[in-house]
Structure formats: structure tokens, C-alpha cells
Amino acid sequence: MNNNEILMRSTYFDKYFENISLKVESADNEKLALVSSVILNTKKTNKKVLIFGNGGSSSISDHLVVDLVNAAKIRATSYNNPGLITCFSNDYGFENWIGKAVDCYGDPGDVLILISSSGTSENMLVAAKKAKAIGLYVVTFSGFSPSNPLKCLGDINLWVDDDKYNAVEITHHIWLLSIVDCIINFE
């Protein structure tokens, strides 16, 4: 690789990280503070946090659970068990599998966090509606279109103004882990 190619790639990374910084800094800090309070309240009321994502967002949900349980001592779980996913998807349809899991594991007063880059995944939309119907507090993280349907279904909705998966996912990840750090700092 010649010096010109290295310079071009270096410039790419400068612009890339500048964009990510802008996305992270675009957070609605009042909403993040409210989410941290809602999650902390689950500990005080002996409730739990249920977290779902598809694809890369499912990995974010797993990381969030680890930090909530281990560092913040809050009952939280993600549902990325292949047996459960394939069972519920086969028996109820992929669009309904998360809603079925919410129905089986959610209790009134629990918090449901749904992470979806596009905000259009049918399984997330069904789950948000199911959760509201049985009395869960719903928090959504989405991106892409400002009018994505998930963005309207939560009690708190956080949105990233970008249409690239990695930019949306890394922003969601940082926002979610900042919530954990806030909980730890203020408990």
C-alpha cells in the first residue's frame, strides 16, 4: 500500500469517527436519565428488564444484560436461546416470537427494551404492542427513518439519525452502556 492509499484510508477513519461522535452526542440526555431511573426502579420493586434485538442488536442486548446483572445488580435477561427462538418462530411465526416470549416471561411492571436499527422489524412491533397490553414499560432504541413505526410504540423512544447499521448499532451500544454507568454512579 502506498502513502496516498494510507492517507485516503486515514481520512476515511477521521470522517467515520467524527460521524459516530456526532451520533453519540445527539443523545437526548433527559431520556437517557429517565431510562436509567426506570431500570433502577425495577431493582427497587423486584421487577426485571427483558431485552431483545435482532442480528447485531441481539449481541448488544446480551452485553447490556451482562453489565446490568454483574455491575448494576439488576435482574435482566436477553432471549437469544436458539431453541426458544426457533420453537416460538415455528409455532407462532417469526413476527410473533418476541411477543410470545414477552407473554411467557414478562410481568406487569417489568421493563422491556427493544433494540432495532431500522425500527421496522415486525417481531419488535408485535412485542411492543404485546408488552403494553400486559403492563410492561417499553423502551425502544431505533434508527434509520425518523418515522419508523417502533419509534412511536415505547414509553421512551431513543432514535439515531443515520441509515447505516454500524453507525446506529454502535450509537445504541454506547447509549445503553452509558445508562448502566449512570445507574452504578447514582445508586
What is the 3-state secondary structure of the chain?
CCHHHHHHHHHHHHHHHHHHHHHHHCCCHHHHHHHHHHHHHHHHCCCCEEEEECCHHHHHHHHHHHHHHHCCCCCEEECCCHHHHHHHHHHHCHHHHHHHHHHHHCCCCCEEEEEECCCCCHHHHHHHHHHHHHCCEEEEEECCCCCCHHHHCCCEEEECCCCCHHHHHHHHHHHHHHHHHHHHHHC
- pLDDT at residue 187 greater than cutoff 80: no
Shortest CA distance to 175 belongs to which of 159, 161, 186, 164?
159
pLDDT above 90: residue 99: yes
Q: Could you read off the pLDDT of 126-161 as tens digits, one per residue?
A: 999 999 999 999 999 999 999 999 999 999 999 999
Q: What is the CATH number of the domain that holds 123?
A: 3.40.50.10490
What domain range includes position 49?
A: 28-186
> What's at 81, amino acid-wise?
N
1 domain residue, yes or no: no
Give the C-alpha separation, 119 to 107, whole Å. 24
How many separate domains does the chain show? 1
User: What is the per-residue pLDDT across 17-66, written as a single tens digit (0 to 9) for each?
Assistant: 999 999 999 999 999 999 999 999 999 999 999 999 999 999 999 999 99
Tell whether 3 is covered by a domain.
no
Please indicate, yes or no, if residue 16 is contained in any of the structural domains.
no
Query: Is 65 among the domain residues?
Result: yes
| Contact yes or no for 13/150 (Cβ under 8 A) | no
CA distance linking residue 152 with residue 80, whole number of Å: 25
> Is 46 part of any domain?
yes
* 128: in domain: yes
Q: Do the domain assignments include residue 22?
A: no
Asked if the structure places residue 23 within a domain, the reply is no
pLDDT at 1: 80
pLDDT at 114 over 80: yes
Give this prediction's pTM. Answer: 0.96
